[in-house]
Structure 1
Amino acid sequence: MPRFETAQVVEPHAETSADHVAVLPLGEAMVLVVADGAGNSRRGVDAAAGVVRAVRAATVDRSDLLRPEAWSNLLEQCDHLLASTGHGGETTAVAACVTEGRIIGASVGDSELWLIHGDSHTVVTQHQRRKPLLGSGEALPVYFDVPWNGGTLLAGTDGLFKYADAPRIRAVASGPDLAASARELAALPRLVSGGLQDDVGLTLCRPRH
């Protein structure tokens, strides 16, 4: 049985979502990926999808992904690859590798990774650079490496964090049913009309008991 319980949701605010998420196995570890294409444009959608594809390929082909620097290097490679296509698409990215005792990875932009313990949380990506984004050819991914001794990990786009308050996010993410928590989190930013002001993409992860 896998060591980790995970859930993921993408809720588009229009027909096509610029948010892309993935949960990928890496040996006994788990990789969480969140990308938000800039401007909710077709080019942004393609850029975000390209990051997820690149991380997926890396989890199959690379053996060095338990080093934090490997993740910032990987996102730098994504940046240069996207820029070389010339289509102009840019995207945020959070890529986090979760092991039994550590959370390592890298990020660019305003998507975030939170480590939640009850009524408190730590923003694991707090030192990331918001701009330039991946696809600019000038992005500066920042890696992270923090201990993990329990709690719930939440990786999400600004469509969640910008439009829902932190106490409510923490309470919902800590619910006993992770899949239900993911769905409820994605619904938090909904307007009274039922619509969303932005796409919402997120993944949750916690140790399996």
Structure 2
Amino acid sequence: MSGPMGVSLRERVATNAATGSLQSAPKRGCPLCSSRCAAEDGPTVNRRRTDGRAMPGRYYEEFDVGETVAHDKRRTVSESDNQRFCDLTMNQQPLHLDAEFAAETRFGERLVNGLYTMSLAVGLSIPETTDGTIVANLSYDDVEHPEPVFHGDTLRAESTVSDKRETSDGERGVVTMHVEAYRVENGADTLVCEFDRTVLAEKRPDE
């Protein structure tokens, strides 16, 4: 999709993020009620937008470099999760989908799509980091998958704030977090995915 003068939407977003001129999206409440559904999300940190809606995400000022956040939510990955993700992304890799093919590999069974594992790690990290306070995700870097994930594995995530800086106009902030996803096991959990996530975050609104 192109905008004025033939400049694509992607190019405009990248330019605006670099200059700090990217505008926040319109603020919307929950489609089912006037506020966040605390029963689903658990305890909500007492922060509010200028429109009065509570949300658990952090503003730029609330990120501390070096802090590690162990995220509460976990998910057990099902065969259906893996199948639907591959279908939606048109990924026909038999190592993810074909049980007989996968049985003949060194893994002995189907592997969960690594991009699903990464996406799940991002999703698990949202409530305690950028839920309601993000302007945009800017990049995902240095992605690694040190161990495979299988159907039935339960995953958890941690985020460590590695860097932060204000935008050139001082109105927002750029925050980088190192995200790690672990397979939950008896004893020591196993690292299955890690990457750096950089976001453009809102600053705390004036009271």
TM more than 0.5? no
TM-score normalised according to structure 1 size? 0.22
TM-score normalised according to structure 2 size? 0.22
Q: Which has the higher helix share?
A: 1
Q: Which has the higher strand share?
A: 1
> Could you say which structure has the larger radius of gyration?
2
